Amino acid sequence: MDKTEILERAKAYIKDEKDAGFAKEVKDLIAKEDFAELEDRFYRNLEFGTGGLRGVIGGGTNRMNTFVINNATQGLANYFIKTFPEKAKAGKLSAVVAFDSRRYSDVFAEATALIFAANGFKTYLFTSLRPTPELSFAIRKLGCDTGVVVTASHNPPQYNGYKAYWNDGAQVIEPHDVGIINEVNAVTSVKTISKDEAIKSGKLVMIDKEIDEPYWEMVKAQLFRPELIAKLAKDVKVVYTPLHGTGAMHVEKVLSSLGLNVTTVPEQREPDGTFHTVEKPNPEEAPALKMAVELAEKVKADVVMATDPDADRFGSAVPGKDGKFVLISGNQMGVLLTDYILTSRKELGKMPKNPAMIRSIVTSPMVDKMAAANGVYLSECLTGFKWIASDMARFESTGSHSYIFGFEESYGYNVETDVRDKDGVSAAAMCAEMTLYWRSKGKSLLERLEELYKEFGYYEDCAISKNFAGASGAETMKGIMAKLRKEGFKALGGKKVVKIRDVQQSIVFAPANPSKTEKLNLPKSNVLQFFLEGGTVVSARPSGTEPKIKFYINAQVPSNNGLDAAKKEADSLCNAIKAEINAVLDAAC
Assess contact for 150 and 72: CB atoms under 8 A: no
- Name the strand (E) or helix (H) holding 331: helix 330-348
> 420 and 287, same structural domain?
yes
| Residue 397 CB burial class (10 angstroms; 0-12, 13-18, ≥19) | exposed
> Is 539 among the catalytic positions?
no
The Cα–Cα gap between 286 and 218 comes to 31
pTM over 0.85: yes
Write out pLDDT tens, residues 142-167.
Answer: 999 999 999 999 999 999 999 999 99
35-42 and 470-487 helices cross at what angle (nearest 10)?
60
Sign of the dihedral defined by the CA atoms of residues 575, 578, 582, 583, in that order: positive
Given 421, 441, 456, the domain boundary residue is 456
Report helix, strand or coil for 492: strand
| Residue 538 CB burial class (10 angstroms; 0-12, 13-18, ≥19) | buried
Bridge partners (DSSP) listed for residue 95:
123, 146
> 432 and 523, same structural domain?
no
Assess contact for 371 and 343: CB atoms under 8 A: no
**From the candidates 136, 153, 316, 379, which is the catalytic residue?**
153
At 265 the pLDDT is 98
By DSSP bridging, strand 513-519 and strand 507-510 are antiparallel
Assess contact for 167 and 144: CB atoms under 8 A: yes
Q: Which amino acid is at 361?
A: I
Domain harbouring 392, CATH code: 3.40.120.10
Angle in degrees, CA 367, 451, 529, rounded to 5: 30
At 589 the pLDDT is 73
Given 166, 187, 207, the domain boundary residue is 207
- Name the strand (E) or helix (H) holding 97: strand 94-99
The Cα–Cα gap between 253 and 243 comes to 17
Assess contact for 180 and 172: CB atoms under 8 A: yes
> 326 and 463, same structural domain?
no
Domain harbouring 579, CATH code: 3.30.310.50
Write out pLDDT tens, residues 102-134.
Answer: 999 999 999 999 999 999 999 999 999 999 999
Q: How far is CA 455 from CA 327, 367, 439, 541, in A?
A: 22, 12, 20, 31
By DSSP bridging, strand 412-414 and strand 402-408 are antiparallel
Assess contact for 42 and 22: CB atoms under 8 A: no
Report helix, strand or coil for 419: coil
15: number of Cβ within 10 Å? 9
At 4 the pLDDT is 92
Q: What are phi and psi of 129, to 5 degrees?
A: -60, 145
Q: Is the peptide bond before 175 cis (omega within 30 degrees of 0)?
A: yes
194: number of Cβ within 10 Å? 12
Angle in degrees, CA 445, 446, 451, rounded to 5: 95
- For residue 203, which of 83, 143, 114, 136 has the smallest C-alpha distance? 114
The Cα–Cα gap between 206 and 199 comes to 8
> 584 and 555, same structural domain?
yes
> 26 and 122, same structural domain?
no
> 479 and 445, same structural domain?
no
- For residue 581, which of 544, 546, 540 has the smallest C-alpha distance? 540
The domain tally of the chain equals 4
> 297 and 440, same structural domain?
yes
Q: What is the pLDDT along the chain (589 residues), one digit of tens a residue?
A: 789 999 999 999 999 998 999 999 999 999 999 999 999 999 988 876 555 789 999 999 999 999 999 999 999 999 999 999 999 999 999 999 999 999 999 999 999 999 999 999 999 999 999 999 999 999 999 999 999 999 999 999 999 999 999 999 999 988 898 888 889 889 999 999 999 999 999 999 999 999 999 999 999 999 999 999 999 998 889 999 999 999 999 999 999 999 999 999 999 999 999 999 999 999 999 999 999 999 999 999 999 999 999 999 999 999 998 889 999 999 999 999 999 999 999 999 999 999 999 999 999 999 999 999 999 999 999 998 999 999 999 999 999 999 999 999 999 999 999 999 999 999 999 999 999 999 999 999 999 999 999 999 999 999 999 988 777 888 889 999 999 999 889 999 999 999 999 999 999 999 988 889 999 999 999 999 999 999 999 999 987 666 789 999 999 999 999 999 999 999 999 999 999 999 999 888 7
Given 456, 484, 512, the domain boundary residue is 456
Assess contact for 356 and 367: CB atoms under 8 A: no
At 51 the pLDDT is 57
- What percent of the chain is helix, strand and coil (3-state, nearest 5)? 45, 25, 30
Q: Burial code of 424-450, b = ≥16 C-beta within 10 A, e = fewer?
A: bbbbbbbbbbbbbbbbeeeebbbebbe
Please compute Rg for the chain using Cα positions: 24
Assess contact for 388 and 402: CB atoms under 8 A: no
- For residue 455, which of 338, 292, 314, 548 has the smallest C-alpha distance? 338
- For residue 446, which of 318, 290, 284 has the smallest C-alpha distance? 318
Write out pLDDT tens, residues 423-449.
Answer: 999 999 999 999 999 999 999 999 999
> 54 and 20, same structural domain?
no
The Cα–Cα gap between 438 and 225 comes to 12
Write the CB contacts of 174 (distance below 8 Å, at least 6 apart in sequence): 523
Domain ranges, residue 472: 458-588
Residues 47/162/388/414 CA torsion (nearest 10 deg): 160
> 338 and 472, same structural domain?
no
> 251 and 394, same structural domain?
yes
At 512 the pLDDT is 86
The Cα–Cα gap between 136 and 48 comes to 18
Assess contact for 371 and 380: CB atoms under 8 A: no
Half-sphere exposure of 225 (CA within 13 A, CB side): 23
> 142 and 250, same structural domain?
no
> 429 and 341, same structural domain?
yes
Sheet of 402-408, strand order: 377-381, 355-360, 402-408, 412-414
Assess contact for 334 and 364: CB atoms under 8 A: yes
The Cα–Cα gap between 251 and 413 comes to 15
Q: How far is CA 425 from CA 132, 325, 340, in A?
A: 10, 22, 17
